[in-house]
């Protein structure tokens, strides 16, 4: 099971200019194996919300329920991919992927076999012994994705993981992610600034308002799977895009 329930969540913090409210009264349920994207303007609290779901930071108020119990700290059942790959430069790709298994004390022989399979799955067969400096940005992010999956978490949190990549590489890895998600069902929460990407990947798009971040609207995406690039040019896709853009850029108070 990997159902996530966010209840009336607030997050505030102190700054030089005073008390800042990053998130305000956010409530959201993410079902098991659902692919949800969070989209909104810079500073609306998307990454903050993701860190709270991952147990990396605590909310100021509200509750985060994971499989029926409060989540108060990081759990091995959650894998996280950040905007930067954050690979250890002195470790080859395979050893970078194995890092969570080592930290969690998992069986290294079995984990190594899984790591090799994951690198093959993301198109990096033959690069297992390459150092990060020998890999392109897209290849490094594929290593980071493999690392997040090596301990077989039920939930995958992704914080703008493709933002630094060129458009073609971004599209390629996005479809690679969908293929992996389809093969090994996970509950995915994916943060992005890119509305097209948000629609193309998701079962539901959560549009957030400018700070303080609130859920402005939740849009269910009824496009067939597997998704294709050609869908972007359909009237249905354009209608989703127009709806989400309207919510983000013209309103911060639309009901979810």
Q: In this predicted model, what pLDDT tens digit does every residue of 212-235 receive, in sequence order?
A: 899 999 999 999 999 999 999 999
Which pLDDT does position 253 carry in this prediction? 41
Handedness of CA 3, 105, 117, 128 (dihedral sign): positive
Instruction: pLDDT band for 69, please (50, 70, 90 cuts).
Output: confident
CA angle 34, 167, 185 (to 5 degrees): 20
Parse the chain into domains and list their residue ranges.
1-77+155-256, 87-152
The span from the CA of 183 to the CA of 181, in Å, is 5
Average pLDDT over residues 144-165: 93
Choose among 149, 150, 1: nearest CA to 65. Answer: 1
CATH code at 1-77+155-256:
3.40.50.300
The span from the CA of 152 to the CA of 64, in Å, is 22
Mean pLDDT score of the chain: 91
Instruction: pLDDT band for 18, please (50, 70, 90 cuts).
Output: confident
Average pLDDT over residues 27-42: 94
Q: How far apart are the first and last CA of the chain?
A: 25
Q: Is the pLDDT of residue 138 over 60?
A: yes
Q: How many CA atoms lie within 13 A of 214 on its CB side?
A: 12
Average pLDDT over residues 105-118: 94
């Amino acid at each position: 099971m990997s159902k996530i329930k966010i209840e009336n969540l607030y997050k505030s913090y102190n700054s030089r200019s005073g008390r800042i409210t990053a998130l305000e009264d956010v409530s959201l349920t993410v079902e098991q194996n659902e692919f949800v994207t969070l989209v909104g303007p810079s500073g609306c609290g998307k990454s903050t919300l993701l860190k709270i779901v991952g147990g990396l930071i605590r909310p100021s108020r509200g509750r985060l329920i994971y499989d029926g119990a409060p989540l108060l700290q990081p759990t091995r059942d959650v894998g996280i991919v950040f905007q930067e790959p954050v690979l250890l430069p002195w470790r080859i790709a395979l050893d970078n992927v194995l890092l969570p298994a080592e930290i969690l004390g998992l069986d290294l022989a079995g984990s190594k076999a899984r790591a090799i399979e994951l690198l093959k799955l993301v198109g990096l067969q033959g690069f297992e012994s390459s150092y990060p400096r020998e890999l392109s940005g897209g290849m490094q992010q594929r290593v980071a994705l493999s690392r997040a999956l090596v301990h077989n978490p039920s939930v995958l949190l992704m914080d703008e993981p493709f933002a630094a990549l060129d458009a073609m590489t971004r599209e390629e890895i996005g479809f690679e992610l969908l293929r992996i998600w389809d093969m090994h069902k996970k509950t995915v929460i994916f943060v992005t600034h890119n509305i097209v990407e948000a629609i193309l990947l998701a079962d539901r798009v959560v549009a957030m308002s400018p700070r303080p971040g609130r859920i402005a609207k939740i849009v269910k995406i009824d496009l067939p799977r597997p998704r294709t690039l050609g869908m972007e040019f359909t009237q249905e896709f354009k209608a989703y895009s127009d709806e989400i853009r309207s919510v983000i850029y013209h309103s911060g108070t639309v009901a979810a």
